[in-house]
Amino acid sequence: MSPPAIILVKPQLGQNIGTAARAMANFGLRELRLVAPRDGWPNPEAVNAASGADWVLEGARVFERVEDALADLHYVLATTARVREMVKPMVTAEHAAGHMHARVRQGQRCGVLFGPERTGLDNDAVALAHAVLRIPVHPDFTSINLAQSVLLIGYEWFRHADETPDTLLETRIAVPAEGADLLRFFEHLEGELDRSGFLRPPEKRPSMVRALRNIFQRIQLTDQDVRTLRGVVSSLTTARQRRENEK
């Protein structure tokens, strides 16, 4: 079974990357993706902190944008401790592990997003995820560090290895859309909405784009859904252009 990718967005310290890699190795998580690490990559402090989990660091892939890091994934979870204004399914690490195991058995690729140590994920990154992953902790002290979060999720993934799969997910046949296909659809739709004047005024455009992307991510579109929706957008665009040319 292919474990989920661990995606660290703008990690600030090499030590934190190294301890996260060590936590990954403890539970068989081997795919590490880094988005714009603050101190660059490779980082000798990460190697020292990994305590021998060198193969995780050696296989790490670096991306400039979150979108690029998610391009080949079918199902993405965003870890966040903050309440967001967007409506999105919320799961615990235990339930997330079960869902990911069922999807991996279908041949899907999964990933878990972690934000910068100080601020966590921003809303644009959370909007690209299918669900929010929350780790239940005592309300009197909710702060946990990056490596602890990775460790808890890795533990649940490892613990669920022999459990009975989720029947509903196991019987699904349709293949979820990859992140790259979703992004191309988003950009296609948003480009046409810009041309039609829907995404106005300019200061509200970012929040409107996040809201639209969040709607489609909640639906968990299949590859066929994306092809159909892009055809719909193209058809509406062609019809509008035809009317404009006839004037």
Q: Which of 56, 66, 174 is nearest to 114 (CA)?
A: 66
Torsion of CA 222, 224, 227, 232, to 10 degrees: -100
- Chain center to CA of 246: 44
Q: 34-59 pLDDT, tens per residue? A: 999 999 999 999 999 999 999 999 99
Domains and CATH numbers, the chain: 5-170 (3.40.1280.10), 179-246 (1.10.8)
Q: Which long-range contacts (CB under 8 A, 24 or more apart) does 142-145 make?
A: 142/81, 145/16, 145/19, 145/117
**243 phi-psi bin (left φ>0, alpha ψ -120 to 50, beta other):** alpha
- Extract the tokens encoding 59: 């296989």
Write phi, then psi, for 77 (nearest 5 degrees). Answer: -110, 140
User: Amino acid identity of 89?
Assistant: P
Strand partners for 113: 7, 78
What is the reported pLDDT for 68? 97
What is the C-alpha separation between 189 and 212, in angstroms, rounded? Answer: 10
Please give the DSSP secondary-structure letter assigned to residue 52.
T
pLDDT along the chain (247 residues), means of 10: 94 96 96 97 95 95 97 95 76 93 94 92 93 86 90 94 55 77 95 93 94 91 93 88 75
What is the reported pLDDT for 165? 52
What is the reported pLDDT for 167? 52
